[in-house]
Structure 1
Amino acid sequence: MGTLFHSPFHPAIQDLKVTIQDSSLIFSSQNFDHEENSIFLSNIDQVLNFHVQTVHFFPANPDFPPEAVVARLKNALTKVMKHYDFLDGRLKMNHQTGRLEIERNGLGVGFVVASTKFLLDEIGDLVYPNPAFMQLIVNGLNKFDDQPLCVVQVTSFKCGGVALGISTNHVLFDGTSFKTFLQNIASQSFDDKPFTAVPCNNRRLLAARSPPQVTFEHPELLKLKLPIGDEPPPVFDSTQETLDFKIFSLSPTDLNHLKEKALTAKKITGFNVVTAHIWRCKALSFNSEQNNRDRVSVVLYAVDIRPRLCPPLPNSYCGNAVLTAYASAKCADLEDEPFSKIVDLVTEGAARMTDEYARSAIDWGEVHKGFPNGEFLISSWWRLGLDEVVYPWGKPRYSCPVVCHRKDIILLFPEIGGASSNGVNVLVALPGKEMEKFQTLFYEFLK
């Protein structure tokens, strides 16, 4: 059960030989008053000042050659900025309040047109996070003097396929609002389609209460002592440690088997059983000279709070509306307890995220500078459905973030085929000895 992903690369495709053909800025049509156009960012947004890059691969469509795709995307981006007018602003620190803000100054969204001499089918399995995919977006950032919050790069392949690379600062979107953004770009790429959903841009819906009311302990959050005006370090900052990297594939049969093992659990979902399985393997593979069985392991995972607040946030809320849930247990319990008990711990961690708990966490961010605190984080792109977005030239063959290998973040990606395939790929980076043990446990606990 379960398979190890293998994707041998020909050395040539480690360099896609991308050529930039054109770099420009797209501007919204809004008029800006520089003194009154700073956008409030919530305490959730505040700790997410880093760029997220995603790449969306499209096979060739004879009705939409690359130049037509470029024209439609550029036009669509111009149109969507009617409702996303903050996209062409810039991030700034308000040194009086010590808070990051978006200044709606109309400095533009980056738009880059590029090409490669490779065929789409030559660049390897799209599921494997090839470092060369960075060329499909990062090159564009280097073409601008300042730091746009959003840069779009369209790269054409020799076969007529295209890669849509998008880099956005995480303060703009979480996964749900980013998908809505893509759906709106896709809809405006057609000749006569309305917006999929007009975004709700009122980020004060997630403002802290006045005065703040921290009613829970929040062990999942780490306090920082920073002077006012200083920016916090990146969440889960990467280290220079040498890591092994592997992808573990769980088929629908594997997922059903994990659900059967968790038959007596309170809430059996694909995410809950996969998270419990990974947590167990990661915790027990930890290298320590001390007695590992007495060590407490903490797993973190994101929960969308839109439906959990009272009243609920609009589904179209634009910004970050996810908070970090956690589950903790001694390694002895993770090793000895029935799998259903571990699944229950994951379920209880998400259920903890009530309206009051979420508001308390937001208020905690008002009192303390800090960020999520745990042994590792599971970040799931599995059910997000980015490859289900329909453009005039079709759906993406595959959509994925461009990632670096980090031992404190384990990623869940869909298989090619998206939600309809139901399988999941688990991307893991660990030091060599820990990886060996993780791999052994991964398959052992699948039996």
Structure 2
Amino acid sequence: MSVDVIGCILCGARGPAQPIVSEASRPWCPKSTYLQSTCDLCREFEQLENEINQLLEKRRQLKTRISLYHRKEIIQNIPPEVLSNIFHFFISSGSELDPSSPLILGAICGRWRAIAWATPSLWTSITIILNATSLGNKQQLAREWLSRAGQLPLSISITTSADWEDELPTIPVALLSGLIDAVNEYANRRRVLDIQLPSSMLPLFQADPHGISILHTLKIDPGTLLEVERVSEIFNPTNPRPSPAVVEIISVAFQSVRICWNNVTHLDVTFFSIDECCEVLRQAPSLTSCSFDSIMPDEDEFPLPESPLLHPNLTSLRVGTFHRDRFFQHVVFPSLRFLSVECHDVGLPTEDIISFLLRSPSPLHELHLLSFESEGSEFIIQILSAAPSLKIFHLNPLTEDDHDPSPLFRRLQIRHPSAPTVPNSYRNSKPWFTAGR
């Protein structure tokens, strides 16, 4: 290969030059060719530039290591009680966190693990999702998890995977009962118990053998929403019998839930018959908020009251039904302030509601009438006439009749010149229709 004596393309100096064989060696010059060349000084300059860049990169990496080292020192110097509080805020910062968040903390380093394992407040809530592949491991995990909570109250939720029904026949009964036995070991500290399991597993839950129960919230959902599949397996922990304040039940018969109802203040049930609704009102005198969704016809499990059942403390009631049942014939709520009636594609029991309102001289503040077959505006006037203390009225029929509330208000003004029954706020299925005095 011949070398011409030509001027340096960078500085113009003449002398022996070496060809540049690739554009990569001079990236700043897009027109570099095989014949172009640089002098010794320029090559030395380029070499220094490369060395400087390498040193800058090394400096950057060293600063990163120094930063990580000092950051580690800062973490190591944080007192354990401060780290424990930080961990607690991490666990409780939002519902989107993975239920195994305490385990994530323990995977960071040995010190974090020791502090997390020794912080009881991190382990007071556990969600167990049952499946055939890891049931044995979850039994041990549940015991270890709950043991780290010390003596604090516990929130325990047990549910199943989506393909549970297919897996259930293949799972040994001993594994299922073993897991629930692990939960039963902490029955004296269960404050919240959420059971979303097949009904056949309800009898496995037992009370504390020492007679202690602090259960505040009980939720039972066997996973069926069809009334024909309503289950009768018994949830019957005894000695002591649980006495929760909040109860949610779906598709389980009233007689199958053997608890003390005296302290229940909030109740939400689905698929109770009329006689069961009346019986729970009779056994739960402390109720202040109640929801009966999908009330079924009378099943003659309990005698209906011969005279309307008086419940003095109930202030909020939601009723949903697929039938023109006679629930409102059997009750009186003198303290009721909120009432919602959803009729699921059937007509409102207008006469029963009016009779109920007249029979219950309650300070009713808010009334919702939802998902019913409209029968015109006359029944609305009759209902409002029976509720003179009403402030908020929400109307949402299935049909589009009376979407414009103006005719209704005009009729109310005609019938009642002083307009005592016109609510302060009226809402129908179109939220932009509002009116006030």
Q: Given the two structures, how large is their TM-score scaled by the length of structure 1?
A: 0.19
Larger relative contact order (C-alpha < 8 A, sep ≥ 6)?
A: 1
More helix by share: 2
More strand by share: 1
When Rg is computed on C-alpha atoms for both structures, the one with the higher figure is 2
